[in-house]
Amino acid sequence: MNNHGYAIVLEKTTSGWSAYVPDLDGCIAAGGTQEETRQLIHGAIAFHLKGMIEDGDPIPEPHSIVEYAPLAS
Residue 9 has a pLDDT of 97
Predicted confidence pLDDT, tens digits, the chain (73 residues): 566 799 999 999 999 999 999 999 999 999 999 999 999 999 999 999 999 999 999 999 999 988 999 998 7
Residue 26 has a pLDDT of 96
Architecture label for domain 9-55:
2-Layer Sandwich (3.30)
What pTM was estimated for this model as a whole? 0.88
- What contacts 47, CB < 8 A, 6 or more positions away? none
Residue 72 has a pLDDT of 85
Closest CA to 60 of 34, 8, 33, 23: 23
